[in-house]
Amino acid sequence: MPRIQWYLPTLALGIGFIILGIVLMVKASRDEGGYFSFLSSRPDVRKYLERNSLLAFISLKVGGRVSFAVGIVLIILSAVLWYWGY
């Protein structure tokens, strides 16, 4: 029975999490920029919508950062597994 090299799936998961984190952070920036450019042209609507809408952008940014951090940890773990021969 062949031995499984555990660093390869860990490396793939780490890269996947990093890509997901980057996509979420870019999406949050674009959505936030488009939203605030719309609100800057409508000052009468801005005072009603500004308070609650920031939570969606903050959650996307935080989710992206957490996903990116998990990806970095998984890549470090795969490097350790590769070094130790697992």
Positions of the chain with pLDDT under 50: 1
Percent of the chain with pLDDT over 70: 69
Question: Which of 8, 3, 17, 23 has the alpha carbon at shortest distance from 78?
Answer: 8
> Cβ distance 15 to 86 under 8 Å?
no
Kindly state the tokens that stand for 18: 């990093």
pTM over 0.95: no
- Cα separation of 57 and 82, whole Å? 37
Listed residue (1, 10, 2, 5) closest to 84, CA to CA: 5
Instruction: Give the residue extent of every domain in the chain.
Output: 21-80
CB atoms within 10 A of CB 17: 20
